[in-house]
């Protein structure tokens, strides 16, 4: 079976017990991203976000002597409903072309339905790795945005 597919992508849906505003801020503010972005064993070293159309972002993370980063450009910024950005690795997935991430947030004061699409993968194996990564990231995000208020002082800024 051929492991390549032109422009393959996936879509995930997840419900959070938090407002769309809170989930959007958790996705776009460095202090919040440090709390949930990295998988176990990794640390977010540097996060820069210029949250505007045409603005750049970079999330660098490290583990032991390894450093990788995800970089890209915001194509759509519509808080707290929609965010579209390019996705490019440095230090990992060397053969992976630039891909596209789309977030859509719908909900109320106490619930958000997130639809995440990640598109333009040339390799099905790499697509599956990213799908699994996003599922784990959403688990970490869920724990953070649904913490009781008295426990979330460390991310109060977001």
Domain borders along the chain are: 9-147
Which CATH number, 3.30.530.20, 2.30.110.10, 3.50.50.60, 3.20.20.70, labels domain 9-147? Answer: 3.30.530.20
Each of the 158 residues of the chain gets a pLDDT tens digit; together they read: 344 445 799 999 999 999 999 999 999 999 999 999 999 899 999 999 999 999 999 999 999 999 999 999 999 999 999 999 999 999 999 989 999 999 999 999 899 999 999 999 999 999 999 999 999 999 999 999 987 654 444 454 45
Q: Quick check: pTM over 0.85?
A: yes
Residue with tokens 């808080």: 79
Q: How high is the pLDDT of residue 87?
A: 98
Between CA 40 and CA 50 the distance in angstroms is 26
Confidence at residue 63, expressed as pLDDT on a 0 to 100 scale: 95
Query: What pLDDT, on a 0 to 100 scale, did the predictor assign at position 120?
Result: 96
Q: What is the pLDDT of residue 116?
A: 98
């Amino acid at each position: 079976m051929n492991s390549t597919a032109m422009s393959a992508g996936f879509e995930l849906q997840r419900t959070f017990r938090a407002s769309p505003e809170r989930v959007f801020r958790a996705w776009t503010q460095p202090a919040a991203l440090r709390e949930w972005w990295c998988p176990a064993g990794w640390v977010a070293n540097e996060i820069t976000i210029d949250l505007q159309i045409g603005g750049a972002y970079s999330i660098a993370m490290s583990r032991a002597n390894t450093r990788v980063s995800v970089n890209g450009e915001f194509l759509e910024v519509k808080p707290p409903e929609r965010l579209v950005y390019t996705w490019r690795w440095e230090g990992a997935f060397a053969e992976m072309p630039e891909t596209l991430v789309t977030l859509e947030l719908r909900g109320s004061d106490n619930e958000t339905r997130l639809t995440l699409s990640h598109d333009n993968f040339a390799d099905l194996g790499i697509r599956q790795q990213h799908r699994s990564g996003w599922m784990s990231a959403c688990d970490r995000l869920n724990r953070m945005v649904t913490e009781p208020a008295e426990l979330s002082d460390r991310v109060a800024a977001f």
